[in-house]
Structure 1
Protein backbone atom coordinates (compact mmCIF):
# COMPACT_ATOMS: atom_id res chain seq x y z
CA UNK A 1 0.00 0.00 0.00
CA UNK A 2 1.01 3.62 -0.59
CA UNK A 3 0.89 6.71 1.62
CA UNK A 4 -0.88 9.60 -0.12
CA UNK A 5 1.03 12.79 0.72
CA UNK A 6 0.06 16.46 0.50
CA UNK A 7 2.97 18.95 0.44
CA UNK A 8 2.26 22.31 2.06
CA UNK A 9 4.95 25.00 1.84
CA UNK A 10 4.85 28.49 0.35
CA UNK A 11 8.30 27.98 -1.23
CA UNK A 12 8.23 26.01 -4.48
CA UNK A 13 11.88 24.91 -4.05
CA UNK A 14 11.06 23.48 -0.63
CA UNK A 15 8.22 21.44 -2.16
CA UNK A 16 10.51 20.26 -4.96
CA UNK A 17 13.08 19.12 -2.41
CA UNK A 18 10.44 17.18 -0.47
CA UNK A 19 9.31 15.53 -3.72
CA UNK A 20 12.91 14.52 -4.44
CA UNK A 21 13.34 13.05 -0.97
CA UNK A 22 10.06 11.14 -1.23
CA UNK A 23 11.08 9.71 -4.60
CA UNK A 24 14.28 8.43 -2.98
CA UNK A 25 12.34 6.51 -0.30
CA UNK A 26 10.73 3.18 -1.13
CA UNK A 27 9.92 2.10 2.43
CA UNK A 28 7.16 3.09 2.85
CA UNK A 29 5.99 3.91 -0.65
CA UNK A 30 4.45 7.35 -1.14
CA UNK A 31 2.45 9.21 -3.76
CA UNK A 32 2.26 13.01 -3.81
CA UNK A 33 -1.45 13.73 -4.37
CA UNK A 34 -1.25 17.50 -4.13
CA UNK A 35 0.71 20.64 -3.31
CA UNK A 36 -0.35 23.85 -1.61
CA UNK A 37 1.30 27.20 -0.94
CA UNK A 38 -1.05 28.26 1.86
CA UNK A 39 -3.45 26.85 4.43
CA UNK A 40 -6.62 27.42 2.39
CA UNK A 41 -5.22 25.59 -0.66
CA UNK A 42 -4.21 22.74 1.64
CA UNK A 43 -7.60 22.56 3.33
CA UNK A 44 -9.48 21.87 0.11
CA UNK A 45 -7.08 19.03 -0.78
CA UNK A 46 -6.71 17.46 2.65
CA UNK A 47 -9.38 14.79 2.22
CA UNK A 48 -7.28 13.14 -0.52
CA UNK A 49 -4.25 12.69 1.74
CA UNK A 50 -3.13 10.21 4.37
CA UNK A 51 -0.32 12.56 5.41
CA UNK A 52 0.31 16.30 5.27
CA UNK A 53 3.94 17.48 5.24
CA UNK A 54 3.31 20.92 6.65
CA UNK A 55 5.36 24.09 7.00
CA UNK A 56 4.47 26.48 9.83
CA UNK A 57 5.24 29.89 8.31
CA UNK A 58 2.55 30.19 5.63
CA UNK A 59 0.79 33.24 4.12
CA UNK A 60 -2.42 33.90 6.00
CA UNK A 61 -3.28 31.16 8.49
CA UNK A 62 -0.24 29.37 9.90
CA UNK A 63 0.54 25.69 9.62
CA UNK A 64 -0.35 25.33 13.31
CA UNK A 65 -3.80 26.79 12.67
CA UNK A 66 -4.29 24.41 9.73
CA UNK A 67 -3.23 21.42 11.84
CA UNK A 68 -5.78 22.41 14.50
CA UNK A 69 -8.48 22.61 11.82
CA UNK A 70 -7.48 19.23 10.34
CA UNK A 71 -7.62 17.63 13.76
CA UNK A 72 -11.34 18.38 13.94
CA UNK A 73 -12.09 16.28 10.82
CA UNK A 74 -13.82 12.91 11.32
CA UNK A 75 -10.82 11.13 9.74
CA UNK A 76 -7.93 13.60 9.88
CA UNK A 77 -4.75 12.99 7.89
CA UNK A 78 -1.54 12.52 9.82
CA UNK A 79 0.59 15.66 10.11
CA UNK A 80 4.36 15.93 10.04
CA UNK A 81 5.69 19.46 10.39
CA UNK A 82 8.63 20.40 8.16
CA UNK A 83 9.82 23.84 9.20
CA UNK A 84 12.76 26.10 9.92
CA UNK A 85 11.19 27.15 13.24
CA UNK A 86 12.26 24.76 16.00
CA UNK A 87 10.53 26.74 18.76
CA UNK A 88 7.02 25.47 17.93
CA UNK A 89 7.70 21.79 18.58
CA UNK A 90 5.76 21.55 21.86
CA UNK A 91 2.70 23.18 20.33
CA UNK A 92 2.97 20.86 17.32
CA UNK A 93 2.89 17.73 19.47
CA UNK A 94 -0.05 19.12 21.42
CA UNK A 95 -1.80 19.06 18.03
CA UNK A 96 -0.98 15.34 17.74
CA UNK A 97 1.67 15.78 15.06
CA UNK A 98 3.45 12.51 14.27
CA UNK A 99 6.82 14.24 13.96
CA UNK A 100 8.50 17.65 13.80
CA UNK A 101 11.33 17.97 11.29
CA UNK A 102 13.55 21.03 11.02
CA UNK A 103 14.97 22.14 7.70
CA UNK A 104 17.12 21.05 5.97
CA UNK A 105 15.54 17.61 6.33
CA UNK A 106 17.64 14.51 5.71
CA UNK A 107 16.27 11.50 3.86
CA UNK A 108 16.72 9.28 6.93
CA UNK A 109 14.76 11.62 9.22
CA UNK A 110 11.95 11.90 6.72
CA UNK A 111 11.88 8.14 6.21
CA UNK A 112 11.66 7.57 9.96
CA UNK A 113 8.67 9.94 10.13
CA UNK A 114 6.98 8.22 7.19
CA UNK A 115 7.42 4.84 8.82
CA UNK A 116 5.75 6.09 12.00
CA UNK A 117 2.83 7.38 9.95
CA UNK A 118 2.54 4.09 8.06
CA UNK A 119 2.62 2.13 11.31
CA UNK A 120 -0.11 4.26 12.87
CA UNK A 121 -2.29 3.83 9.81
CA UNK A 122 -1.80 0.07 9.80
CA UNK A 123 0.06 -0.13 6.49
CA UNK A 124 2.09 -3.32 6.01
CA UNK A 125 5.87 -3.19 6.29
CA UNK A 126 8.27 -3.80 3.41
CA UNK A 127 8.48 -7.21 1.77
CA UNK A 128 11.78 -9.05 2.27
CA UNK A 129 14.06 -8.41 -0.67
CA UNK A 130 17.09 -10.10 -2.15
CA UNK A 131 18.11 -6.96 -4.01
CA UNK A 132 21.68 -5.68 -3.96
CA UNK A 133 22.08 -3.07 -1.14
CA UNK A 134 21.95 0.45 -2.53
CA UNK A 135 22.28 4.07 -1.48
CA UNK A 136 19.84 6.50 -3.06
CA UNK A 137 21.30 9.84 -4.18
CA UNK A 138 19.90 12.89 -5.94
CA UNK A 139 21.95 14.22 -8.82
CA UNK A 140 20.93 17.19 -10.97
CA UNK A 141 17.26 16.44 -10.63
CA UNK A 142 17.68 12.68 -11.06
CA UNK A 143 17.29 10.03 -8.37
CA UNK A 144 19.97 7.33 -8.65
CA UNK A 145 20.31 3.98 -6.90
CA UNK A 146 24.01 3.30 -6.36
CA UNK A 147 25.04 -0.23 -5.37
CA UNK A 148 26.93 -0.09 -2.08
CA UNK A 149 29.63 -2.20 -3.73
CA UNK A 150 30.53 0.83 -5.90
CA UNK A 151 31.13 3.16 -2.94
CA UNK A 152 34.81 3.76 -2.13
CA UNK A 153 34.41 6.15 0.77
CA UNK A 154 32.11 8.70 2.43
CA UNK A 155 33.53 11.88 3.90
CA UNK A 156 31.69 14.50 5.96
CA UNK A 157 32.40 18.07 4.93
CA UNK A 158 30.53 21.00 6.50
CA UNK A 159 26.80 20.09 6.40
CA UNK A 160 27.08 17.41 3.73
CA UNK A 161 28.65 14.03 3.05
CA UNK A 162 30.65 13.37 -0.11
CA UNK A 163 30.16 9.89 -1.56
CA UNK A 164 33.03 8.79 -3.82
CA UNK A 165 32.86 6.08 -6.46
CA UNK A 166 35.54 5.15 -8.98
CA UNK A 167 33.94 7.47 -11.54
CA UNK A 168 32.71 10.52 -9.66
CA UNK A 169 31.51 12.11 -6.43
CA UNK A 170 27.99 12.74 -5.12
CA UNK A 171 26.68 14.88 -2.27
CA UNK A 172 24.36 13.40 0.39
CA UNK A 173 22.31 15.07 3.12
CA UNK A 174 22.51 12.01 5.39
CA UNK A 175 24.51 12.13 8.61
CA UNK A 176 27.71 10.08 8.54
CA UNK A 177 26.73 8.29 11.76
CA UNK A 178 23.43 7.17 10.18
CA UNK A 179 25.24 5.95 7.07
CA UNK A 180 27.70 3.99 9.21
CA UNK A 181 24.84 2.10 10.88
CA UNK A 182 23.17 1.33 7.55
CA UNK A 183 26.35 0.21 5.78
CA UNK A 184 27.54 -2.18 8.48
CA UNK A 185 30.82 -4.10 8.63
CA UNK A 186 31.76 -3.54 5.00
CA UNK A 187 32.93 -0.04 5.88
CA UNK A 188 35.66 1.09 8.23
CA UNK A 189 35.69 4.29 10.30
CA UNK A 190 39.13 5.83 9.72
CA UNK A 191 38.43 9.31 11.04
CA UNK A 192 35.58 11.15 12.71
CA UNK A 193 34.71 12.50 9.25
CA UNK A 194 35.35 9.47 7.02
CA UNK A 195 34.16 5.91 6.30
CA UNK A 196 36.08 3.75 3.82
CA UNK A 197 35.00 0.53 2.11
CA UNK A 198 37.27 -2.21 3.45
CA UNK A 199 37.59 -3.70 -0.02
CA UNK A 200 38.90 -0.39 -1.38
CA UNK A 201 41.78 0.02 1.11
CA UNK A 202 45.13 -0.80 -0.45
CA UNK A 203 47.63 0.61 2.03
CA UNK A 204 48.07 2.12 5.47
CA UNK A 205 51.12 4.36 5.65
CA UNK A 206 52.66 7.27 7.51
CA UNK A 207 52.61 10.41 5.40
CA UNK A 208 54.30 13.75 6.00
CA UNK A 209 52.04 16.78 6.17
CA UNK A 210 48.86 14.75 6.04
CA UNK A 211 45.46 16.37 6.29
CA UNK A 212 44.54 15.30 9.84
CA UNK A 213 44.89 18.49 11.95
CA UNK A 214 45.28 16.37 15.10
CA UNK A 215 48.30 14.52 13.73
CA UNK A 216 50.77 17.41 13.63
CA UNK A 217 53.26 17.52 10.78
CA UNK A 218 53.09 13.79 10.07
CA UNK A 219 50.18 11.38 10.24
CA UNK A 220 48.77 8.08 9.08
CA UNK A 221 46.53 7.65 6.06
CA UNK A 222 44.91 4.92 3.96
CA UNK A 223 45.18 4.75 0.18
CA UNK A 224 41.84 4.10 -1.50
CA UNK A 225 41.76 2.36 -4.89
CA UNK A 226 40.97 2.68 -7.73
CA UNK A 227 40.65 6.43 -7.04
CA UNK A 228 44.23 6.32 -5.67
CA UNK A 229 43.37 8.92 -3.05
CA UNK A 230 44.69 9.17 0.51
CA UNK A 231 42.41 9.71 3.50
CA UNK A 232 43.72 10.66 6.91
CA UNK A 233 43.49 8.18 9.79
CA UNK A 234 42.98 9.85 13.15
CA UNK A 235 45.06 8.89 16.16
CA UNK A 236 41.93 7.64 17.89
CA UNK A 237 41.07 5.27 15.02
CA UNK A 238 44.60 4.11 14.15
CA UNK A 239 44.67 1.00 16.34
CA UNK A 240 41.23 -0.10 15.16
CA UNK A 241 42.18 0.46 11.51
CA UNK A 242 45.39 -1.58 11.93
CA UNK A 243 43.48 -4.39 13.60
CA UNK A 244 40.75 -4.41 10.96
CA UNK A 245 43.21 -4.47 8.07
CA UNK A 246 45.29 -7.19 9.66
CA UNK A 247 42.18 -9.34 10.02
CA UNK A 248 40.96 -8.89 6.43
Structure 2
Protein backbone atom coordinates (compact mmCIF):
# COMPACT_ATOMS: atom_id res chain seq x y z
CA UNK A 1 0.00 0.00 0.00
CA UNK A 2 1.27 3.43 -0.94
CA UNK A 3 1.48 6.50 1.26
CA UNK A 4 1.20 9.53 -1.01
CA UNK A 5 1.68 13.29 -0.79
CA UNK A 6 0.08 15.49 -3.47
CA UNK A 7 1.49 19.00 -4.00
CA UNK A 8 -0.31 21.67 -6.05
CA UNK A 9 -0.86 25.36 -5.39
CA UNK A 10 -4.23 25.38 -7.18
CA UNK A 11 -6.72 24.18 -4.59
CA UNK A 12 -9.37 22.75 -6.98
CA UNK A 13 -6.73 20.69 -8.79
CA UNK A 14 -5.24 19.51 -5.51
CA UNK A 15 -8.65 18.39 -4.27
CA UNK A 16 -9.28 16.54 -7.52
CA UNK A 17 -5.92 14.77 -7.33
CA UNK A 18 -6.49 13.78 -3.70
CA UNK A 19 -9.94 12.45 -4.55
CA UNK A 20 -8.51 10.21 -7.25
CA UNK A 21 -5.65 8.97 -5.08
CA UNK A 22 -7.91 8.21 -2.13
CA UNK A 23 -10.25 6.31 -4.43
CA UNK A 24 -7.43 3.94 -5.45
CA UNK A 25 -7.40 0.82 -3.22
CA UNK A 26 -3.61 0.60 -3.62
CA UNK A 27 -3.15 3.93 -1.80
CA UNK A 28 -3.43 3.65 1.99
CA UNK A 29 -3.16 7.39 2.65
CA UNK A 30 -3.01 10.59 0.61
CA UNK A 31 -2.25 14.00 2.09
CA UNK A 32 -2.10 17.36 0.36
CA UNK A 33 0.20 20.38 0.41
CA UNK A 34 -0.74 23.64 -1.30
CA UNK A 35 2.77 25.15 -1.62
CA UNK A 36 6.43 24.19 -1.68
CA UNK A 37 7.10 25.25 1.92
CA UNK A 38 4.34 23.07 3.29
CA UNK A 39 5.46 20.19 1.07
CA UNK A 40 9.10 20.39 2.22
CA UNK A 41 8.01 20.54 5.86
CA UNK A 42 5.91 17.42 5.39
CA UNK A 43 8.63 15.57 3.44
CA UNK A 44 11.30 16.50 6.02
CA UNK A 45 9.12 15.02 8.76
CA UNK A 46 8.73 11.86 6.68
CA UNK A 47 12.49 11.54 6.12
CA UNK A 48 13.16 12.00 9.83
CA UNK A 49 10.54 9.36 10.60
CA UNK A 50 12.15 6.88 8.21
CA UNK A 51 10.54 4.74 5.49
CA UNK A 52 8.73 2.57 8.03
CA UNK A 53 7.87 5.40 10.43
CA UNK A 54 4.35 6.73 11.07
CA UNK A 55 5.01 9.85 8.96
CA UNK A 56 6.61 8.02 6.04
CA UNK A 57 5.87 8.95 2.41
CA UNK A 58 6.40 6.53 -0.46
CA UNK A 59 5.61 8.79 -3.43
CA UNK A 60 5.12 12.52 -4.02
CA UNK A 61 2.76 13.66 -6.81
CA UNK A 62 4.30 17.01 -7.59
CA UNK A 63 3.15 19.98 -9.65
CA UNK A 64 5.93 21.82 -11.45
CA UNK A 65 4.95 25.48 -11.81
CA UNK A 66 4.16 26.86 -8.35
CA UNK A 67 4.75 30.13 -6.57
CA UNK A 68 8.16 30.23 -4.92
CA UNK A 69 10.04 26.97 -5.37
CA UNK A 70 8.99 24.92 -8.37
CA UNK A 71 8.39 21.20 -8.35
CA UNK A 72 11.75 20.75 -10.09
CA UNK A 73 13.44 22.65 -7.25
CA UNK A 74 11.84 20.35 -4.70
CA UNK A 75 12.93 17.28 -6.65
CA UNK A 76 16.53 18.58 -6.78
CA UNK A 77 16.51 19.05 -3.00
CA UNK A 78 15.19 15.54 -2.45
CA UNK A 79 17.84 14.02 -4.72
CA UNK A 80 20.45 14.83 -2.06
CA UNK A 81 18.90 12.42 0.44
CA UNK A 82 19.87 8.77 0.69
CA UNK A 83 16.32 7.36 0.49
CA UNK A 84 13.97 10.07 -0.82
CA UNK A 85 10.37 9.29 -1.75
CA UNK A 86 9.53 8.52 -5.36
CA UNK A 87 8.54 11.47 -7.55
CA UNK A 88 5.65 11.64 -10.03
CA UNK A 89 5.30 15.00 -11.75
CA UNK A 90 1.72 16.13 -12.45
CA UNK A 91 1.71 19.18 -14.70
CA UNK A 92 -0.08 20.94 -17.53
CA UNK A 93 3.21 21.56 -19.38
CA UNK A 94 4.94 19.04 -21.64
CA UNK A 95 8.21 20.97 -21.92
CA UNK A 96 9.72 19.86 -18.58
CA UNK A 97 9.71 16.12 -19.25
CA UNK A 98 13.46 15.85 -19.98
CA UNK A 99 14.39 17.70 -16.78
CA UNK A 100 11.88 15.63 -14.82
CA UNK A 101 13.35 12.30 -15.86
CA UNK A 102 16.89 13.63 -15.34
CA UNK A 103 15.77 14.06 -11.71
CA UNK A 104 14.80 10.36 -11.58
CA UNK A 105 11.05 10.91 -11.70
CA UNK A 106 9.21 7.62 -12.24
CA UNK A 107 6.37 9.18 -14.24
CA UNK A 108 5.16 12.39 -15.86
CA UNK A 109 1.37 12.85 -15.85
CA UNK A 110 -0.23 15.66 -17.84
CA UNK A 111 -3.22 17.68 -16.69
CA UNK A 112 -6.14 17.37 -16.85
CA UNK A 113 -5.45 14.15 -14.99
CA UNK A 114 -7.26 11.13 -16.39
CA UNK A 115 -8.07 8.50 -13.74
CA UNK A 116 -6.64 5.65 -15.81
CA UNK A 117 -3.40 7.60 -16.37
CA UNK A 118 -3.01 8.29 -12.65
CA UNK A 119 -3.72 4.62 -11.93
CA UNK A 120 -0.78 3.73 -14.20
CA UNK A 121 1.48 6.07 -12.21
CA UNK A 122 0.37 4.35 -9.00
CA UNK A 123 1.15 0.97 -10.58
CA UNK A 124 4.65 2.15 -11.51
CA UNK A 125 5.27 3.39 -7.98
CA UNK A 126 4.20 0.05 -6.50
CA UNK A 127 6.43 -1.80 -8.95
CA UNK A 128 9.41 0.43 -8.11
CA UNK A 129 8.91 -0.21 -4.39
CA UNK A 130 8.81 -3.94 -5.03
CA UNK A 131 5.13 -4.61 -4.32
CA UNK A 132 4.03 -7.88 -5.90
CA UNK A 133 1.51 -7.64 -8.73
CA UNK A 134 -2.06 -8.58 -7.85
CA UNK A 135 -2.68 -12.32 -8.10
CA UNK A 136 -5.41 -13.63 -10.34
CA UNK A 137 -8.38 -15.30 -8.67
CA UNK A 138 -7.90 -19.06 -9.24
CA UNK A 139 -11.64 -19.62 -9.07
CA UNK A 140 -12.39 -17.13 -11.81
CA UNK A 141 -12.99 -18.30 -15.34
CA UNK A 142 -10.10 -17.46 -17.68
CA UNK A 143 -10.75 -14.77 -20.19
CA UNK A 144 -11.33 -16.16 -23.66
CA UNK A 145 -9.89 -14.43 -26.72
CA UNK A 146 -12.24 -12.80 -29.13
CA UNK A 147 -13.24 -15.22 -31.89
CA UNK A 148 -11.39 -14.66 -35.15
CA UNK A 149 -13.37 -15.37 -38.32
CA UNK A 150 -11.96 -17.98 -40.68
CA UNK A 151 -9.98 -16.68 -43.61
CA UNK A 152 -12.67 -17.83 -46.02
CA UNK A 153 -15.40 -15.99 -44.15
CA UNK A 154 -16.35 -12.75 -45.88
CA UNK A 155 -18.67 -10.29 -44.21
CA UNK A 156 -20.77 -8.53 -46.81
CA UNK A 157 -20.94 -4.74 -46.54
CA UNK A 158 -24.14 -3.39 -45.04
CA UNK A 159 -26.87 -2.51 -47.47
CA UNK A 160 -27.43 1.23 -47.94
CA UNK A 161 -30.16 2.62 -45.75
CA UNK A 162 -33.24 4.07 -47.34
CA UNK A 163 -33.94 7.48 -45.82
CA UNK A 164 -37.47 8.82 -46.02
CA UNK A 165 -37.32 12.40 -47.26
CA UNK A 166 -39.59 15.12 -46.01
CA UNK A 167 -41.28 17.00 -48.82
CA UNK A 168 -40.88 16.26 -52.52
CA UNK A 169 -38.85 13.15 -53.37
CA UNK A 170 -35.35 13.71 -54.69
CA UNK A 171 -34.58 12.93 -58.30
CA UNK A 172 -32.81 9.61 -58.94
CA UNK A 173 -29.04 9.87 -58.62
CA UNK A 174 -29.15 13.13 -56.68
CA UNK A 175 -28.47 13.76 -53.01
CA UNK A 176 -30.68 15.82 -50.79
CA UNK A 177 -28.68 18.51 -48.96
CA UNK A 178 -28.17 18.02 -45.23
CA UNK A 179 -30.72 19.83 -43.06
CA UNK A 180 -29.59 23.16 -41.67
CA UNK A 181 -28.46 22.95 -38.05
CA UNK A 182 -29.43 25.91 -35.90
CA UNK A 183 -27.47 27.30 -32.97
CA UNK A 184 -30.01 25.77 -30.58
CA UNK A 185 -29.41 22.34 -32.14
CA UNK A 186 -25.66 22.64 -31.63
CA UNK A 187 -25.95 23.76 -28.02
CA UNK A 188 -26.55 20.82 -25.66
CA UNK A 189 -28.86 21.12 -22.68
CA UNK A 190 -26.25 19.46 -20.45
CA UNK A 191 -22.54 19.75 -19.80
CA UNK A 192 -20.37 16.72 -19.06
CA UNK A 193 -18.27 16.78 -15.88
CA UNK A 194 -15.84 14.07 -14.82
CA UNK A 195 -14.76 13.04 -11.34
CA UNK A 196 -12.96 9.87 -10.40
CA UNK A 197 -13.64 8.18 -13.71
CA UNK A 198 -17.38 8.89 -13.57
CA UNK A 199 -18.96 11.22 -16.14
CA UNK A 200 -22.05 13.12 -15.02
CA UNK A 201 -24.26 15.28 -17.18
CA UNK A 202 -25.29 18.47 -15.40
CA UNK A 203 -28.30 20.32 -16.76
CA UNK A 204 -27.33 23.87 -17.72
CA UNK A 205 -30.70 25.03 -16.38
CA UNK A 206 -29.58 23.86 -12.89
CA UNK A 207 -26.44 26.03 -12.88
CA UNK A 208 -26.82 29.22 -10.84
CA UNK A 209 -23.40 30.74 -11.48
CA UNK A 210 -19.92 29.85 -12.70
CA UNK A 211 -16.64 30.76 -11.03
CA UNK A 212 -13.32 31.05 -12.86
CA UNK A 213 -10.45 29.06 -11.34
CA UNK A 214 -7.42 29.43 -13.62
CA UNK A 215 -7.92 27.44 -16.80
CA UNK A 216 -10.89 25.74 -15.15
CA UNK A 217 -14.42 26.79 -14.28
CA UNK A 218 -16.45 25.68 -11.27
CA UNK A 219 -20.16 25.22 -11.91
CA UNK A 220 -22.33 26.00 -8.89
CA UNK A 221 -25.74 24.31 -8.61
CA UNK A 222 -28.18 23.92 -5.74
CA UNK A 223 -26.80 20.45 -5.12
CA UNK A 224 -23.08 21.26 -5.13
CA UNK A 225 -20.31 22.29 -7.51
CA UNK A 226 -18.44 20.69 -10.40
CA UNK A 227 -15.06 21.48 -11.96
CA UNK A 228 -14.61 21.53 -15.75
CA UNK A 229 -11.57 22.39 -17.84
CA UNK A 230 -13.23 25.14 -19.86
CA UNK A 231 -12.29 28.85 -19.60
CA UNK A 232 -14.96 31.18 -18.29
CA UNK A 233 -14.80 33.25 -21.50
CA UNK A 234 -15.76 30.17 -23.54
CA UNK A 235 -18.80 29.45 -21.36
CA UNK A 236 -19.78 33.12 -21.55
CA UNK A 237 -19.85 32.90 -25.34
CA UNK A 238 -21.65 29.55 -25.43
CA UNK A 239 -24.31 30.36 -22.84
CA UNK A 240 -25.12 34.00 -23.62
CA UNK A 241 -28.31 32.89 -25.40
CA UNK A 242 -29.30 30.93 -22.29
CA UNK A 243 -29.36 34.01 -20.08
CA UNK A 244 -25.88 33.84 -18.55
CA UNK A 245 -24.22 37.23 -18.07
CA UNK A 246 -20.72 38.23 -17.03
CA UNK A 247 -20.72 40.29 -13.84
CA UNK A 248 -17.04 40.10 -12.98
CA UNK A 249 -13.83 38.70 -14.44
CA UNK A 250 -14.36 35.73 -12.12
CA UNK A 251 -18.11 35.18 -12.31
CA UNK A 252 -20.76 34.30 -14.86
CA UNK A 253 -24.34 34.29 -13.53
CA UNK A 254 -27.67 32.97 -14.76
CA UNK A 255 -29.82 36.09 -14.94
CA UNK A 256 -32.94 34.28 -13.76
CA UNK A 257 -31.17 33.01 -10.63
CA UNK A 258 -30.33 36.48 -9.26
CA UNK A 259 -32.43 37.08 -6.14
CA UNK A 260 -31.20 40.54 -5.16
CA UNK A 261 -29.19 43.42 -6.56
CA UNK A 262 -27.47 45.45 -3.83
CA UNK A 263 -25.91 48.91 -4.03
CA UNK A 264 -23.74 49.86 -1.06
CA UNK A 265 -21.30 52.80 -0.92
CA UNK A 266 -20.70 52.75 -4.64
CA UNK A 267 -20.22 48.99 -4.87
CA UNK A 268 -22.64 46.59 -6.54
CA UNK A 269 -23.28 42.97 -5.65
CA UNK A 270 -25.87 40.32 -6.35
CA UNK A 271 -27.26 37.53 -4.21
CA UNK A 272 -27.62 34.16 -5.90
CA UNK A 273 -29.10 31.76 -3.40
CA UNK A 274 -26.81 31.90 -0.37
CA UNK A 275 -23.87 33.36 -2.32
CA UNK A 276 -23.14 37.08 -2.56
CA UNK A 277 -21.09 37.98 -5.63
CA UNK A 278 -19.39 41.25 -6.43
CA UNK A 279 -20.23 43.06 -9.66
CA UNK A 280 -17.40 44.97 -11.31
CA UNK A 281 -18.00 48.60 -12.27
CA UNK A 282 -17.70 47.89 -15.99
CA UNK A 283 -20.57 45.37 -15.78
CA UNK A 284 -22.78 47.11 -13.19
CA UNK A 285 -24.81 49.42 -15.51
CA UNK A 286 -25.38 46.71 -18.12
CA UNK A 287 -26.47 44.25 -15.43
CA UNK A 288 -28.99 46.72 -13.96
CA UNK A 289 -30.47 47.31 -17.41
CA UNK A 290 -30.71 43.58 -18.10
CA UNK A 291 -32.40 42.94 -14.75
CA UNK A 292 -34.95 45.70 -15.38
CA UNK A 293 -35.79 44.31 -18.83
CA UNK A 294 -35.96 40.80 -17.40
CA UNK A 295 -38.30 41.90 -14.60
CA UNK A 296 -40.65 43.67 -17.01
CA UNK A 297 -40.69 40.79 -19.47
TM-score norm. by structure 2 comes to: 0.43
Q: Cα–Cα, structure 1 residues 39 and 125, in superposed 2: closer, same or farther, change >3 Å?
A: same
Partner of 2:42: 45
Partner of 1:121: 129
Partner of 1:109: 117
1:86 pairs, out of 81, 91, 94, with 94
Q: Cα–Cα, structure 1 residues 126 and 87, in superposed 2: closer, same or farther, change >3 Å?
A: same
Structure possessing the higher relative contact order (Cα contacts under 8 Å, 6 or more residues apart):
1
Equivalent residue runs for 1:1-248 within 5 Å: 2-26=1-25, 29-46=26-43, 47=46, 48-129=56-137, 185=146, 207=161
Supply the distance in 1 between the matched residues of 2:30 and 2:72 (Cα, whole angstroms).
21
Supply the distance in 2 between the matched residues of 1:208 and 1:90 (Cα, whole angstroms).
55
CA shift for structure 1 position 21: 2.0
Residues 33 and 49 in structure 1, CA contact (< 8 A), matched pair in contact too: no
What SS is found at the alignment partner of 2:20?
Answer: helix
Q: Cα–Cα, structure 1 residues 131 and 207, in superposed 2: closer, same or farther, change >3 Å?
A: farther
The unaligned stretches of length 5 or more in structure 1 are 133-181, 187-203, 210-215, 218-248
Aligned pair count reads 143
Supply the distance in 2 between the matched residues of 1:62 and 1:97 (Cα, whole angstroms).
15
The unaligned stretches of length 5 or more in structure 2 are 47-55, 148-157, 164-174, 177-297
Supply the distance in 2 between the matched residues of 1:84 and 1:22 (Cα, whole angstroms).
18
What SS is found at the alignment partner of 1:31?
Answer: strand
Structure having the larger proportion of residues in strand? 1
TM-score norm. by structure 1 comes to: 0.51
Q: Cα–Cα, structure 1 residues 66 and 131, in superposed 2: closer, same or farther, change >3 Å?
A: farther
Supply the distance in 1 between the matched residues of 2:131 and 2:97 (Cα, whole angstroms).
26
Supply the distance in 2 between the matched residues of 1:205 and 1:106 (Cα, whole angstroms).
39
Q: CA RMSD in A?
A: 3.0
Supply the distance in 1 between the matched residues of 2:102 and 2:96 (Cα, whole angstroms).
10
What SS is found at the alignment partner of 1:42?
Answer: helix
Residues 34 and 45 in structure 1, CA contact (< 8 A), matched pair in contact too: no
Cα deviation code 1:160-189 (max 9, x no counterpart): xxxxxxxxxxxxxxxxxxxxxx9x859xxx
Residues 18 and 32 in structure 2, CA contact (< 8 A), matched pair in contact too: no
Cα deviation code 1:43-90 (max 9, x no counterpart): 111223100000001111000000111111221000000000110000
Residues 19 and 32 in structure 1, CA contact (< 8 A), matched pair in contact too: no
Supply the distance in 2 between the matched residues of 1:12 and 1:205 (Cα, whole angstroms).
54
Supply the distance in 1 between the matched residues of 2:19 and 2:159 (Cα, whole angstroms).
41
Supply the distance in 2 between the matched residues of 1:10 and 1:205 (Cα, whole angstroms).
57
Supply the distance in 1 between the matched residues of 2:94 and 2:162 (Cα, whole angstroms).
45
